[in-house]
Amino acid sequence: MPQNMMPPRPTRLRQIALVAEDLEQATRLLTTVIGTEVVFRDPLVEQWGLRNILLPIGGDLIEVVSPLKSNTTAGRLLSKRGNGGYMIIMQTEDALARRDCLESNKLAKVIFTHDNEDSVCIQYHPKGIKGGIIPELDAHIPSSTNSNPIHERFSPWHACGSSSTYPAYSDSMKRHSHLHLMSATCRLSPANEDIEGAAEQWENIFGVKRGKVSGENEFTNANLQFIPGKSGEHEGLVEVCIGVEGKARL
């Protein structure tokens, strides 16, 4: 680990964002195949030229965004790669301290920060970050009603709306408690086969400890895996694994 860097800390894979040209088609596909439901549509994302849906995977989430216009990050990504991965959104205890550390060491560039009374959201520029996906590292402030935000499976999550909406979306999460976010797999850029270097970078920058096998990071609830780059294939998210508890639900 480089000098002056923070050590790995418990980090949860709380949300994976996908980008799709046809949001309603993606909604029908994911709710039918996975057997989940739309828990929230965030009107605030329209300020970035987007529409979205959030789907509960137990206490974690799959988000799908779709651009309303072409001159957006999501629109440019669609033009370049087509439907696929957009963001990996992580939850930690010390997002602000890690942001300060990363900025002081010039290891990552913040592109968006949003604070409110009980949470902080920090997005980083993907340039130089292995895996070809936008990383976001967020935190919820522990409270008397949310004492262990990372480890409590159905804890509040800012992306689902204000605290007043928690009773509704937590009920939806619990209705889908048989679903588990297991892993995400990212391909490196063409000719890059250093999967262990990618895992080391995510450990050093975002505090997600390396796993037991090469090219893997361990969240508290899931794994992040890297695979070597391949000629003719874009880097980025290639697979999301969702576990289903109970044979009757398969």
pLDDT in tens, 84-134: 999 999 999 999 999 999 999 999 999 999 998 899 999 999 999 999 999
CA angle, 27 then 137 then 51, to 5°: 30
CATH (residue range 12-144+176-245): 3.10.180.10
Structure tokens at 79: 């033009």
CA angle, 150 then 156 then 160, to 5°: 125
Average pLDDT, the chain: 95
**pLDDT in the model for residue 3:** 64
The residues with which 120 forms a beta bridge, in sequence order, are 115, 139
Residue count (the chain): 250
Q: What is the pLDDT of residues 174-199, one digit of tens each?
A: 999 999 999 999 999 999 999 999 99
The residues with which 223 forms a beta bridge, in sequence order, are 183, 218
Cα 231 to the chain's mean position, in Å? 26
One DSSP character per residue, 179-222 reads EEEEEEEEEPPTT---HHHHHHHHHHHH---B-SSTTEEE-SS-
The answer, yes or no, to whether residue 135 has pLDDT greater than 70, is yes
CA angle, 155 then 117 then 180, to 5°: 20
List the chain domain ranges. 12-144+176-245
The band of 162, judged by pLDDT with boundaries at 50, 70 and 90, is confident
Q: Residue 211 contacts by C-beta under 8 Å, 6 or more apart in sequence?
A: 199, 217, 218, 223
- Dihedral sign computed on CA atoms, order 156, 160, 165, 171: negative
148 burial type by CB count under 10 A (0-12 exposed, 13-18 middle, 19+ buried): exposed
Contact of 207 with 98, CB cutoff 8 Å: yes
Q: Is the pTM of this model over 0.85?
A: yes
